[in-house]
């Protein structure tokens, strides 16, 4: 028996440690540890509620727009203006969030995940004229290989020409993700940490030139998604077919839904298992356990709005700064795969068409989606779905039309803001007293996915996905980092402190 410790797990967002106990070449136990605590919810107490979308964005520099979105939804509700947001405001919020979906998904596949599959040193023998690859070749020739070496060695499978092509896409994708942020800035002002999404709507009135500029920037990115990103995911899937059998998680999936339309949402909410028969989401069933988290514990799991949590960094049973969110007492996985499965099960034609296309290209059954490659494929499909929809949404904007509904801040109020963040289900809960924040709560995607064991001893989704995996070489545990990265963990989001005071906001059912 040997324990493999990976700290830090790099190419994720935030600070994560993974410990895996390997017995006879197979992982028998895994522990996922969030290693940084910042306490943003404590910082919010007593502040002007309008500051919350700006401050909560600083939870995560990779997906700040999702926090701005959840926070403004919660505040719209607390201010009693949720039904007064002008159409332009609603649409621009979706566009800003959508831009960051694209940025996040492209960044994840190429810059966070691909180096686990593509040996970039194959570029050393490149003979063509691609400037990115020539620069990479010169770089390799100089022999100082940081930040690409050291790395785990031994399981790069692409022939040289394919590896070189994928390496050129790695370079190209840096431009694409940058341009997705430029697209976001058209209406969001700047990125990271947009300034456009505010309670009441957004800050910038769209005009014909900004709408056109947005559309054509978007179209360039859509071309890359269709002709490079989606095909590259299939290329990786073909070379690493065994990864449709590795990394299956708990098999239960949760989606809060995302992108508000005139009625309903572009991506539906719900829960599902691999039977693909989704159930309605009942947010009242969400609880958080701290049995194995570094917070003091009275043995009870609570709805997030009633969380009772104080840091206890020396707690014997604790091994993570993450708490353990559970739904109806059970472990659930969130993220693009969860959203695609829920929407597939609901019969969403576009989702069904794209997933069936991918499955037939790989000659695979839907069950194969619960895997490392299933998560990558679902992310690419979602990226295309959202990008295509944005091209329609931007044309719903009325040039010169209002974007913002003025309001008074009430003394008292409460609200919940639930949305789909790139990495999964994101919820913010706020309560106001005397016109300032009395209580603020975030339950974020990676807290679901990378959570430690709960009070019943059930491991979190990432831990479950690692257990049972054969490890070929425990000096180079590729399998583990590939599984972990397929979740696109965001530890900066996941580690937060719940305020010690709180009461239930009741049950929220998201339709």
Partner 1 sequence: MPETREIPVVWIQAATCSGCSVSVLNSAAPKITDVLLSEVIPGRHVNLRFQATVMAGSGEPVVEVLDAAAKGDPGSYVLVVEGSIPTRDGGVYGTLGEEPMVDRVVALAKNAMAIVGLGTCASFGGIFAADPNPGGCVSVGALLKEKGIDAPLINVPGCPPHPDWFIGTIATILVGGLSAVEVDELGRPTRFFGRLIHENCPRRAYFDEGKFAQHLSDEGCLYELGCKGTIAHADCPLRRWNNGTNWVIGSGAPCNGCVEPEFPDLISPFYERLPEEALLVPRKES
Q: Between residues 236 and 492, which has the closer beta carbon with respect to partner 1?
A: 492
The residue among 150 and 299 lying less far from partner 1, judged by its C-beta, is 150
Place of tokens 């949402």: 265
247 near 482, Cβ under 8 Å?
A: yes
Residue 91 CB partners (closer than 8 Å, separation 6+):
393, 394, 396, 397
Shortest Å distance, C-beta 307 to partner 1:
15
166: nearest Cα among 237, 62, 217 = 237
Nearer to partner 1, 177 or 428 (CB): 177
Of 345 and 415, the one with the shorter C-beta distance to partner 1 is 415
Using CB atoms within 10 A of its CB, is residue 230 exposed (0-12), middle (13-18) or buried (19+)? buried
Q: At what angle do helices 230-239 and 372-393 cross, to 10 degrees?
A: 170
Q: Which of 216, 133, 214, 225 is nearest to 176 (CA)?
A: 225
The dihedral through the CA atoms of 193, 97, 421, 223 has a sign that is: negative
β-pairing, 286-289 vs 324-327, is antiparallel
CA angle 382, 384, 388 (to 5 degrees): 120
CB neighbour list of residue 200: distance below 8 Å, 6 or more residues apart: 76, 79, 81, 84, 85, 89, 404, 405, 406, 407
Q: Yes or no: say if 332 and 253 are a contact pair by the CB < 8 Å rule.
A: yes
H or E segment to which residue 337 belongs:
helix 336-345
Nearest distance, CB of residue 488 and partner 1, angstroms: 13
Q: Shortest Cβ distance from residue 375 to partner 1 (Å)?
A: 18
Of 203, 195, 160, 133, nearest in space to 406 by CA: 203
Q: How far is the CB of 63 from partner 1 (least distance, A)?
A: 10
**Identity of the residue, 134 or 274, whose beta carbon is nearer to partner 1 in the bound complex:** 134
Angstrom distance (rounded) from CA 334 to CA 341: 10
Least Å distance, CB 489 to partner 1, is 12
**Alpha-carbon dihedral sign for residues 81, 92, 66, 427:** positive
Q: How far apart are CA 430 and CA 71, in angstroms?
A: 8
Q: Measured between alpha carbons, how far is 294 from 276 in angstroms, rounded to an integer?
A: 36
* Minimum distance, C-beta of residue 284 to partner 1, in the bound complex (Å): 29
CB nearer to partner 1: give 266 or 404. 404
Considering the complex, state which of residue 30 and residue 481 has its C-beta at the smaller distance from partner 1. Answer: 481
Which helix (H) or strand (E) covers residue 432, if one does?
A: strand 424-433
Question: Cα–Cα distance between 330 and 497 in angstroms, integer?
Answer: 22
Q: How far is the CB of 448 from partner 1 (least distance, A)?
A: 19
Compare residues 99 and 369 and give the one whose CB is closer to partner 1.
99
Which of 52, 338 has the CB closer to partner 1? Answer: 52
Give the side-chain half-sphere CA count within 13 A for 339.
30
Write down the least CB distance from residue 143 to partner 1, Å: 9
- Among residues 188, 193, 186, the alpha carbon closest in space to that of 203 is found at 188
The minimum distance between CB 322 and partner 1, in angstroms, equals 14
Please, what is the minimum distance in Å from the beta carbon of residue 115 to partner 1?
Answer: 5
Closer to partner 1 by Cβ: residue 114 or 355: 114
Q: Which residues of 424-453 are buried (b: 16+ CB within 10 A; e: fewer)?
A: bbbbbbbbbeeeebbbbbbbbbbbbbbbbb
Closer to partner 1 by CB, 196 or 345: give it. 196
CB of 159 to partner 1, least distance (A): 20
Please, what is the minimum distance in Å from the beta carbon of residue 178 to partner 1? 5
- As a whole number of angstroms, the distance between CA 286 and CA 274 comes to 20
Please, which residue, 61 or 366, has the CB nearer to partner 1?
61
Six token digits for residue 156: 């790069």
Residue 146 beta carbon to partner 1: minimum distance, rounded to whole angstroms: 4
Residue among 406, 407, 426 at smallest CA distance from 416: 426
Closer Cβ to partner 1, 39 or 231, answer by number? 39
């Amino acid at each position: 028996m040997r324990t493999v410790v990976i700290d830090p797990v790099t190419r994720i967002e935030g600070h994560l440690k993974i410990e895996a106990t390997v017995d006879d070449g197979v992982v028998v136990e895994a522990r996922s540890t969030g290693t940084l605590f910042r306490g943003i919810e404590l910082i919010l107490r007593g502040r002007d509620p309008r500051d919350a979308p700006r401050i909560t964005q600083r939870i995560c520099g990779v997906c700040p727009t999702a926090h701005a979105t959840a926070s403004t939804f919660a505040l719209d509700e607390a201010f009693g203006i949720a039904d007064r947001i002008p159409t332009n405001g609603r649409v621009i919020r979706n566009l800003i969030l959508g831009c960051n979906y694209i940025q996040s998904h492209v960044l994840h596949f190429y810059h966070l995940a691909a180096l686990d599959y593509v040996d970039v040193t194959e570029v050393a023998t490149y003979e063509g004229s691609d400037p990115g690859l020539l620069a990479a070749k010169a770089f390799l020739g100089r022999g100082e290989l940081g930040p690409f070496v050291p790395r785990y060695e031994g399981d790069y499978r692409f022939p040289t020409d394919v590896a070189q092509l994928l390496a050129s896409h790695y370079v190209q994708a840096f431009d694409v993700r940058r341009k997705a942020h430029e697209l976001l800035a058209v209406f969001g002002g700047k990125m990271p940490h947009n300034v456009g999404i505010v309670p009441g709507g957004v800050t910038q009135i769209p005009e014909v030139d900004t709408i056109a500029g947005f559309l054509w920037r978007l179209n360039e990115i859509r071309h890359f998604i269709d002709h490079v990103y989606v095909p590259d995911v299939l290329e990786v899937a073909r070379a690493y077919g065994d990864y449709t059998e590795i990394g299956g998680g708990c098999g239960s999936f949760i989606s809060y839904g995302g992108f508000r339309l005139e009625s309903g949402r572009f991506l539906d909410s719900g829960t599902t298992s691999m039977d693909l028969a989704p159930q309605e989401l009942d947010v009242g069933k969400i609880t958080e356990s701290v049995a194995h988290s570094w917070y003091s514990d009275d043995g009870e799991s609570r709805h997030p709005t009633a969380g009772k949590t104080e840091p206890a960094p020396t707690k014997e049973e604790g091994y993570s700064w993450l708490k353990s969110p559970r739904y109806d007492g059970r472990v659930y996985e969130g993220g693009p795969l969860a959203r695609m499965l829920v929407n597939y099960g609901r019969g969403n034609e576009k989702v069904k068409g794209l997933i069936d296309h991918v499955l037939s290209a790989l000659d695979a059954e839907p069950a194969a989606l619960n895997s490392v490659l299933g998560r990558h494929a679902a992310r690419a499909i979602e990226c295309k779905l959202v990008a295509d929809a944005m091209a329609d949404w931007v044309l719903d904007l009325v040039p010169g039309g209002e974007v913002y509904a003025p309001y008074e801040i009430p003394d008292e109020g409460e609200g919940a803001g639930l949305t789909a963040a790139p990495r999964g289900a994101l919820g913010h809960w706020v309560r106001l007293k005397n016109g300032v924040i009395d209580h603020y709560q975030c339950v974020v995607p990676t807290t679901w996915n990378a959570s430690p064991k709960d009070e019943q001893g059930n491991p979190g989704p990432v831990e479950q996905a690692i257990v049972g995996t054969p490890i070929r070489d425990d000096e180079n545990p590729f399998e583990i980092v590939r599984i972990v990265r397929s979740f696109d963990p965001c530890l900066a989001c996941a580690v937060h402190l719940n305020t010690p005071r709180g009461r239930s906001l009741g049950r929220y059912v998201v339709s």
